[in-house]
Amino acid sequence: MAELLLEILSEEIPARMQARAADDLKRLMTDGLKKAGLTFEDARSFVTPRRLALVVDGLPVNQPDVTEERRGPRVDAPEQAIQGFLKGNGLTLDQCEKRTTPKGEFYFVVVERKGQVTADLLPEMFNDMFQVFPWPKSMRWGTGGQRWVRPLHGILCLFDGAVVPMAVGSTKSTNSTIGHRVLAPGVIGVNDFAEYRDKLENAQVILDADERRKAIAGQAEKLTKKEKLTVKIDNSLLAEVTGLVEWPMALMGRIDEVFMDLPEEVLTTAMRHHQKYFSVVDAKGKLAPRFIAVANTEATDDGKAIIAGNERVLRARLADARYFWDQDRKRTLESRVAGLDGVVFQQRLGSVLDKAERMAKLARTLAEYTGVDPDLAERAARLAKADLTTEMVVEFPELQGVMGRYYALADGETAEVAEAIADHYAPQGPADRCPSASVNVAVAMADKIDSLVGFWMIDEKPTGSKDPFALRRSALGVIRLIVENELSVPLLELFTAVYGFFPPSYNKERSVIPADVLARDLLDFFADRLKVHLRDKGVRHDLITAVFSLGDEDDLVRLLARVEALETFLASDDGEHLLVAYKRAANIVAIEEKKDGVIYDQPVDAGNLADAEEASLHAGLEEAAPRIAKAVAEERFADAMSALAGLRAPVDAFFDKVTVNCDDQTLRANRLRLLSRIRGALGGVADFSKIEG
Give contact residues for another protein (rule: CB under 8 A): 11-12, 14-16, 49, 137, 139-143, 145, 150-151, 153, 182, 244-245, 275, 277, 293, 295-297, 299-301, 305-306, 308-310, 312-316, 319-320, 323, 341-344, 347, 351
Q: Which is nearer to another protein, 206 or 685 (CB)?
A: 206
- Minimum CB separation from another protein for residue 339, in Å? 9
Q: Which is nearer to another protein, 150 or 214 (CB)?
A: 150
* Rounded Cα gap, residues 25 and 4, in angstroms: 13
Q: What are phi and psi for residue 685, nearest 5 degrees?
A: -100, -45
CB distance 434 to 427 below 8 Å: yes
- Minimum CB separation from another protein for residue 26, in Å? 22
- Minimum CB separation from another protein for residue 274, in Å? 9
- Minimum CB separation from another protein for residue 392, in Å? 14
The per-residue DSSP string of 244-293 comes to: T-SS-EEEEEE--GGGTTS-HHHHHHIIIIIH-PEEEE-TTSPEEEEEEE
Q: What are phi and psi for residue 57, nearest 5 degrees?
A: -100, 155
Q: CA–CA distance from 370 to each of 305, 377, 443 (Å)?
A: 57, 10, 10
Q: Which is nearer to another protein, 354 or 447 (CB)?
A: 354
- Minimum CB separation from another protein for residue 548, in Å? 38
| Interaxial angle between packed helices 637-645 and 573-596, expressed in degrees from 0 to 180 and rounded to the nearest 10 | 70
What is the CB neighbour count within 10 angstroms for residue 192? 15
- Minimum CB separation from another protein for residue 396, in Å? 15
- Minimum CB separation from another protein for residue 154, in Å? 11
Residue length of the chain: 693
The radius of gyration computed from the CA coordinates of the chain, to the nearest angstrom, equals 36
CB distance 9 to 178 below 8 Å: yes
- Minimum CB separation from another protein for residue 303, in Å? 8
Q: What are phi and psi for residue 17, nearest 5 degrees?
A: -95, -10
| Interaxial angle between packed helices 556-571 and 541-548, expressed in degrees from 0 to 180 and rounded to the nearest 10 | 120
* Rounded Cα gap, residues 421 and 405, in angstroms: 6
Q: Which is nearer to another protein, 293 or 691 (CB)?
A: 293
Count the helix, strand and coil residues of the chain and give each as a percent rounded to the nearest 5: 55, 15, 30
Helical H runs in 634-664? Answer: 637-645, 648-657
Q: What are phi and psi for residue 491, nearest 5 degrees?
A: -65, -40
Q: Which is nearer to another protein, 40 or 135 (CB)?
A: 135
What is the CB neighbour count within 10 angstroms for residue 272? 20
Q: Which is nearer to another protein, 80 or 143 (CB)?
A: 143
CB distance 110 to 130 below 8 Å: no
Query: What HEC string does 45-71 produce?
Result: EEECCCEEEEEEEEECCECCCEEEEEE
* Rounded Cα gap, residues 283 and 361, in angstroms: 45
- Minimum CB separation from another protein for residue 197, in Å? 23
Q: Which is nearer to another protein, 59 or 149 (CB)?
A: 149
CB distance 604 to 663 below 8 Å: no
